[in-house]
Structures are given as structure tokens and as C-alpha cells.
């Protein structure tokens, strides 16, 4: 039954109805816990009690969101079993209350602190020994020096709304400088999460892009098919891992790894900051425009990003009055 469900989702992915990343996640979750636990059972043998115990088992090392996703996959397989006549009645599934966790946006002051620190650390060696970096972070020899790419990536993400994964995919051919009434970059990135519309950036991203081009052109690494960040590395998974490790070094250096609630921050916090800053300082920007440009949904903006915006942060808007029309 699980194989049939996976084949159905694979066909949907080929038609563009299901994200390739979601398909990989489905495969990973089937292999990690679902098939080892339920794979040898008949659909009719799977009970509410079994799924409840499964959710309790997963809860020890996963968030409520992850546990919920596992239960959804099990239910999807059982629904398929009902559809093909292998199961008469769909059993009840445990209700998992999903708690929305903020991605940990930086404040504007913190943002300027980390970008200045990344610039200042350029050319410096990581405080950990090369041997420890190889053992714990899988960094190769001589990759322990802070490159200019980290500061560029910090500024670019906050001014472009892109996801961390886009840092690894972004090439010069995906970027166009637009100069009209407003100056910005148009990013025509590969599809992410079923979103393929171009992204437009804020104006500071143009300056960052020009700095990257000026640095990389003498090195012959600013051609259309060259990657924007860490273009020396053809293994983009490794490039992303290196960028993440170096960014964490900046956070540790500035003591900003944890947010005010004690939650760890990561590269994704820069995307959170990008969206949150627009909500705070965007001059009444509407959520539809913001969501479409950030390649996400309005509900995601409300639940994950706007949740960190407080009334005090928008005190001027709250205290404003409508002008009387004459």
C-alpha cells in the first residue's frame, strides 16, 4: 500500500502537482520510521492504539509538526487501502495539536551586528581546530577561513526573501538588474515548493550583487552558469553545509545564536527577518503581494512570520487616526 501511495505521489510530482522536495520527504519518512514499524502489517491490523503509540514514540525526538506529518502519511496509506478495497473501515487517527514556532527573526540592530561581524571576520580562521571542523562539521582542509560570501549571503537574503536552499542554486543567469522607477533584481529561480514566479528584491540587493560581480569577474567566476555564492564549490550540498557552518560561527561570535526565547537561529532566520521587516516597515504592504513574492502562502505569513510582530513594534500604526475627508 505504501509503495502504491509513493508511486501516485511520484506521478503527481512529474505532473508538477506535488513538490519534488515533498516527495523526498515522503520517501525519507517512510524509510525512517513508518515502514520499519508498520511495513509488515495488513492495513486492517493498524489500529488507533498503534498509531497513538507511534505518535508517542516520535514525540521524544521530534516537534509536533513532524509527528503530525508522520501520522498524515500513515492515514494517507490507509485511505488508499480503503479506496482499493484492501480495508473496509478507516480507523480513527490521533489528533496532534501542532504548535507554531517562530523562525527566530533578528531585530534590525541584531541584523546589522551580524553582517558587520561577518565583514570583520573576513580572512580570519575559525576558532575551532581544522581537525575538529573535519570531525564534527565535515569541513575539508583549508575551508576554515571566513570568505566574503557569508556577509553577502546575510545581506542578500534579508533583501530578497529567498530561502536558504536558494543560496545553493542561485546562478548569475537567474538574475536580472531592473532599472526603472524602482531599481531591483528580478530573480527567476528554479521552482521551490510548487512556486515558480519571479522574485523581486529590495534595492540594497542590487548593490550586494554588484559587489559579488566585481569580486568574482577577475576570478572568471561571474559567468551565466556560475553560482552566486561560493562558486568555487561544484558540490552544492557541501557549499550549503560550509555556508551554514560559517554563519553559525558569526552567530557564536556575536552571541546571537539563541533568540530572546532561547530558540536556536539558523540561516532560515534571515528569511524570517526579511519578511518580518517588510511587515514592520513596508508602508502598509498587503499580505498577498508579500506572500507571492516570497513564494509562500498567506497562512504561512500569518502563522510563522507575523506571529513575531508585536503591537508595540507597530505602535505608530496602532495610534494613527484616519484623516477626515472634506
pLDDT (tens digit per residue) in 54-82? 999 999 888 888 899 999 999 999 999 99
Main-chain phi, psi angles of 192, to 5 degrees = -135, 130
pLDDT at residue number 18:
81
What percent of the chain is predicted at pLDDT more than 90? Answer: 62
The least confident of 226-230, 281-285, 320-324 is 320-324
47 sits in the region (left: phi over 0; alpha: psi -120 to 50; else beta) called beta
Q: Is the pLDDT of residue 264 over 90?
A: no
Judging by beta carbons within 10 Å of its beta carbon (0-12, 13-18, 19+), is residue 284 exposed, middle or buried? exposed
Kindly report the pTM of this predicted structure: 0.71
- What are 206-226's pLDDT values in tens digits? 999 999 999 999 999 999 999
Q: What pLDDT score was predicted for residue 193?
A: 55
pLDDT tops 60 at residue 319: no
Q: Given pLDDT bands bounded at 50, 70 and 90, which one contains residue 104?
A: confident
Residue 326 has pLDDT above 50, yes or no: no
Q: How far apart are CA 200 and CA 184, in angstroms?
A: 7
User: Is the model more confident about 97 or about 256?
Assistant: 256
User: Dihedral of the CA atoms 287, 290, 293, 297 (nearest 10)?
Assistant: -40
How is domain 108-311 classified at the architecture level of CATH?
Answer: Orthogonal Bundle (1.10)
Contact present, 278 and 288 (Cβ < 8 Å): no
Amino acid at each position: 500500500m505504501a509503495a502504491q501511495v509513493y508511486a501516485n505521489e511520484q506521478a503527481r510530482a512529474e505532473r508538477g502537482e506535488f513538490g519534488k522536495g515533498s516527495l523526498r520527504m515522503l520517501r525519507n519518512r517512510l524509510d525512517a520510521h513508518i515502514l520499519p514499524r508498520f511495513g509488515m502489517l495488513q492495513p486492517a491490523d493498524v489500529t488507533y492504539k498503534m498509531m497513538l503509540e507511534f505518535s508517542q514514540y516520535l514525540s521524544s525526538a521530534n516537534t509536533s509538526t513532524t509527528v503530525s506529518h508522520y501520522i498524515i502519511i500513515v492515514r494517507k496509506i490507509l485511505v488508499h487501502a480503503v479506496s482499493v478495497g484492501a480495508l473496509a473501515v478507516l480507523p480513527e487517527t490521533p489528533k496532534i495539536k501542532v504548535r507554531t514556532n517562530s523562525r527566530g527573526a533578528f531585530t534590525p540592530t541584531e541584523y546589522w551586528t551580524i553582517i558587520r561581524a561577518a565583514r570583520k571576520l573576513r580572512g580570519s580562521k575559525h576558532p575551532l581546530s581544522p581537525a575538529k571542523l573535519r570531525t564534527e562539521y565535515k569541513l575539508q582542509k583549508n575551508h576554515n577561513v571566513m570568505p566574503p560570501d557569508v556577509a553577502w549571503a546575510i545581506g542578500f537574503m534579508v533583501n530578497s526573501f529567498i530561502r536558504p536552499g536558494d543560496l545553493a542554486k542561485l546562478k548569475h543567469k537567474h538574475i536580472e538588474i531592473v532599472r526603472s522607477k524602482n531599481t531591483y533584481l528580478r530573480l527567476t529561480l528554479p521552482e521551490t515548493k510548487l512556486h515558480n514566479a519571479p522574485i523581486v528584491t529590495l534595492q540594497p540587493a542590487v548593490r550586494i550583487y554588484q559587489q559579488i560581480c566585481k569580486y568574482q569577474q577577475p576570478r572568471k567566476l561571474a559567468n551565466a552558469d556560475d553560482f552566486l555564492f561560493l562558486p568555487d564549490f561544484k558540490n552544492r550540498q557541501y557549499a550549503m553545509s560550509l555556508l551554514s557552518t560559517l554563519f553559525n560561527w558569526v552567530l557564536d561570535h556575536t552571541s546571537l545564536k539563541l533568540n530572546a526565547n532561547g530558540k536556536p537561529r539558523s540561516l532560515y532566520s534571515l528569511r524570517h527577518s526579511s519578511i518580518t521587516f517588510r511587515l514592520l516597515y513596508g508602508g502598509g504592504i498587503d499580505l498577498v503581494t508579500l506572500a507571492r513574492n516570497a513564494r509562500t502562502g498567506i497562512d504561512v505569513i500569518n502563522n510563522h512570520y507575523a506571529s513575531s510582530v508585536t503591537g508595540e513594534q507597530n505602535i505608530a500604526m496602532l495610534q494613527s487616526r484616519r484623516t477626515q475627508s472634506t
